Structure 1
Amino acid sequence: MSEYSKKIFRDNLQGLDAYTRHKLFMRDYVNFYGNNGQPSNVETKTEFDILKENHNWEQRVAKKYYDKLFREYCIAELKYYKEGRIALRWRIEKEVITGKGQFICASTKCSNTSELKSWEVNFAYMEDGEKKNALVKIRLCPKCSNKLNYSKQHSEIKTEKEVNLEEKEIEQETRHEKRKREDYESSNSDKKKKRESTSERSKKEREGNSEDIESQKLESVDNNPDDLSERGKIEDFDEFFTGLFV
């Protein structure tokens, strides 16, 4: 297949979500390998469809995708989860094609498709008379995830996108906390400076008032004794107001 044709194929995949790509590959798989060789009906032909008719590269892509999926995920029977008994099995062809256990909850009694999480489980199985073990993924909705982890907490498998998103959120939260701390320290520093400035200004005013009072006292102590009492009240108010307007 030419590089140009491969580019067309890749371009057609860009922008598609995971489930849409899955359905596209599974349609190709069924067309080329399944349904007793009978292709599915296609209402309209696009440039992508025409290229598929003349080349077998997409066939190999679909087959490789299917083969990888066949042992990538498993199905679970969670009926006896409270007893710590979780039964696992490989998916059958129909389940692989429909996305059961990948885009649909892997519990045999559940068909939820939202908020699925991937968990790593140790799957013990028999093959050719030999006992084998494999670490496989199991995709479950929140309710079924709680059942799986009822007796034993399994490791959650996160996509690179989820990991990057979490790291980004942590980084943003760290920057936010740093800004809050800096703003708090700056605010406290400004308040402290303002308090010191107000206190210094009040002190100078009191000293100035005291000097004026002493001066006036010398000049008018014999002329108007009532003024001393009034000025004393004003000084008391100045002290009372100190700190209220910071």
Structure 2
Amino acid sequence: MGKFVFTKELKGVDAYSRHKKLLKSYESYNGSTNSKSSNTHSHNPEHDILRKHHKFVLSSDDAADTDTMTWEQRLAKKYYDQLFKEYALCELSRYKQGHIALRWRTEDEVVFGKGQFICASMQCAVTDNLTSWEVNFGYVEEGIKKNELVKVRLCPDCSDKLNYKTQKRRTKKMEKETAATVARRGKRKKTTSIDDDSSEDDDDSHRMKRQSGSSEHSNHPGNEQPSEKQDASSIWSKDWDDKDDKTKDEEFEDYFADLLQ
């Protein structure tokens, strides 16, 4: 009876509505894994398995040791092998907090050109002026801090978002250096002005001393020039010579007197 009623309800319904009806009936079934039975804890969808066992970069040792892998680990490795790891896609919605998420591209995204010919940001579709960046991506995996160099291609706006924290730190550092330089220049200028004032005072004092010394030297009675001293002394020390005042007769008489003696 129940089967007849269920078939009657699905009769004349489109495929999508029939699909939703079947899923609803399956979830309400007592033995369903989505019910609150004990079977729920032992069942994990593939999405949860991948979230638990997927690794951003699978090491060569982990990839080679397939014999000891569990079914979940083999599923995660199969998904990892299907990814394309030349370029990555990024999530930049929280770039101001410095939180950037990266993941590898799927086959459909590679065919579409996303991340290589189209900006790698999930919210951007720009195709012009793309720049390749090699990002040191730091992440925590299985409680371990890891780093990996990843290539991304971004447009100018998304490139600024990617480097937002770095540019902000660089700007703060430049501002501190500029302030320190201005402070040093101010101190140097102040010291130089003080030294200039003191040197000007010294020059003025030396100039005043020279002027006072020269005035004293010129006003002192004993500070006459040597040439003037010599002229005065030579004039007063000469003997009086009155030969020029004698007549010719007197000169002849003196001459004969000297001969007769």
TM-based fold match above 0.5: no
The structure number with the bigger radius of gyration is: 2
- Structure with more contact order per residue of length (Cα contacts < 8 Å, sep ≥ 6): 1
TM-score (norm 2): 0.34
